[in-house]
Amino acid sequence: MMDFITIMKNDLMLVAIIFLLLFIKLGKGIKNDTLLSIIQLLLLINFVAGFFMNDDYTAFDNMYQTSPVIAFQKSILSLGVYLISLLFSGWLRKSENLTEFFILMLSALLGMFLLLSSSNFLMFYLSLELATIPVAAMANFDLQKKISSEAAMKMILSSAFSSGILLFGISILYGITGTISFAALPALLNGSPIQIMVLVFLFSAFAFKLSIVPFHLWTADVYEGSPFATTSFLSVISKGAIAFVLVSTLYKVFQPMHGVWYTIITVLAIITMIIGNLFALRQQNIKRFLAFSSIAQVGFILVGISSNDSVKGLSSVMYFVLIYVFSNLAAFGVAETIAIYSGKENIGDYNGLYQNNKFLSWVLALALFSLAGIPPTAGFFGKLFLITAGAAKANFAFITIAALNMIVSLYYYLRVVRSVFMDKGETVVEKIPIQPAVKFGLIICGAGIIVTGLWSWVYDYVVGLL
């Protein structure tokens, strides 16, 4: 029994927090500021607790499994959610529905935790739904804005569609193999045409969530319409979780068919990087810009996944997602701080930002350089390890395309840096006040961007788990 509690501590703690919030909502209510601090503290505890007492374990008749690797993946997600609660506290504390927002976000996070731990396609499907539906509600949280409702609508429709495809794939899989357990499946897979069809169906569901081209069409609109906190949750936490699950599904369950999915992944990675990069070139809105850039980043993750190396491939993906949490959240945090003060979210509005807002500008620049993969930021190492892992397959045309895409991405990231540091706006951007919690969050992100890369201990730790 004690095993059960220590091993499932992260999942259970989330449940506890969700219920706590429900009761608070039912009662007289607490002031937003206090409540937010409590939540931040609880999330921090949840994050820290994730590092202790992890072991290989299965429960519920092999429906639930965990291991140090899975626990670390959960910790990355917890860290991301903790950072979100810090970075967007300016918006959150003004929100009338703070409790609901956190209930939804933590439910989605719980869904992702269970998703990571699932070892059966039934559990997998249920937790994937739990991870998706609350996010659609979160997308609608700017209640006064029509565009926000539009985003929620698009999100729910497209994810319902992808769930349908997923379920279809799972049911065919059950029909031909008679099992949906991850452990039993590999022995039954042989790459027959119908199994390839199953793989394609399952993969397209993943591709929807990860917004891999050509399943990316919902991304930019949903990102633009949703409030910043939801957008960043979608683009960082949700993507990270799905990427982890994709790796484990492909490497473990579909290992016998790796020849098939290797082809799928290389082709999609190339298209994803190219389309994501080309569309990012012309975006004016920072959210849409980051949406397309995150599509391109997913293309890079696919390069790492294509290695089919359960040590190098998985470790580089985990390492990259960790870095991506820091870099992308920092960029969103800065954009949110500016948007909440001036209501502006176009890149052109950042002209001359550096003059009065040195801290924000440097954090933004660090984040963008990290996304572009320029040293000394961690993004350099993250991208390089992904590419190196992918290069082990000796498919050099593929690697060259990936490397060339780094040039294109540098160009558009520099566009933002340029407007912050070089361009002169018609009006000087005033000094934007930064709340202490936000500043703390940005400092963590900035430090993370530097330290995660240069200090190789972090990477060694990730590898040590495998």
Partner 1 sequence: MNLLLLLAAPLLTAIAVLLLRNKQQIRWAAFIGSTIQLALAFNLYATYKSARAAGQTTNFIFEKQYNWFPDWNISLHFGVDGIAIAMILLTAFVVIAGVLVSWNVEKMTKEFYFLLILLSFGAYGFFISLDLFVLFFFLEIAVIPKYLLIGIWGSGKKEYSANKLAVMLMGGSALVLVGLLGTYFGSGTKSFDLLQLSSVHIPAHVQSICFPLLFVGFGVFTALFPFHTWVPDGHSSAPTAGSMFLAGISMKLGGYGCLRVAAYIMPDGAKEYANIIIVLSSIAILYGAFATMMQKDLKYINAYSSISHCGFVLLGIGMLTKVSMTGAVMQMVSHGLMTALFFAVIGMVYERTHTRQVDEMGGLLKVMPFISTVLFIVGLCSLGLPGLSGFVAEMTIFVGSWENVDNFHRIATVAACLSIVVTAVYILRAVGKTAMGPMKESYAGLTDARWNERLAAIILIVGILAIGLAPFWMNDLLR
Residues in touch with partner 1 (CB under 8 A): 312, 315, 369, 374-376, 380-381, 384-385, 387-388, 391-392, 394, 396, 399-400, 403-404, 406-407, 410-411, 414, 417-418, 421-423, 456, 459-460, 463
Q: In angstroms, give the least distance from the CB of 442 to partner 1.
A: 18
| DSSP 8-state symbol, 466 | -
Q: In angstroms, give the least distance from the CB of 409 to partner 1.
A: 9
| Residue 252: partners with Cβ closer than 8 Å, 6 or more residues away | 182, 186
Residue 316 and residue 301: Cα distance in Å, rounded?
Answer: 9
Nearer CB in complex with partner 1: 12/392: 392
Q: In angstroms, give the least distance from the CB of 316 to partner 1.
A: 9
Nearer CB in complex with partner 1: 30/384: 384
Q: In angstroms, give the least distance from the CB of 266 to partner 1.
A: 16
Burial pattern 55-94, b for ≥16 Cβ within 10 A else e, equals eebeeeeebbbbbebbbbbbbbbbbbbbbbbbbbbbbbbe
**3-class SS of residue 311:** coil
Q: In angstroms, give the least distance from the CB of 376 to partner 1.
A: 6
341 burial type by CB count under 10 A (0-12 exposed, 13-18 middle, 19+ buried): middle
Nearer CB in complex with partner 1: 362/440: 362
Q: In angstroms, give the least distance from the CB of 173 to partner 1.
A: 35
Residue 312 and residue 80: Cα distance in Å, rounded?
Answer: 23
Nearer CB in complex with partner 1: 1/394: 394
Nearer CB in complex with partner 1: 164/376: 376
Nearer CB in complex with partner 1: 169/313: 313
The rounded Cα 185 to chain-centroid distance in angstroms is 28
Q: Which two tokens stand for residue 14?
A: 């989330």
Nearer CB in complex with partner 1: 125/421: 421
With both helix axes pointing from N to C terminus, report the angle between 239-248 and 286-305 in degrees, rounded to the nearest 10. Answer: 10
Contact 289, 273 (CB under 8 A): no
Q: In angstroms, give the least distance from the CB of 382 to partner 1.
A: 12
What's the half-sphere exposure (Cβ side, CA atoms, 13 Å) at 432?
27
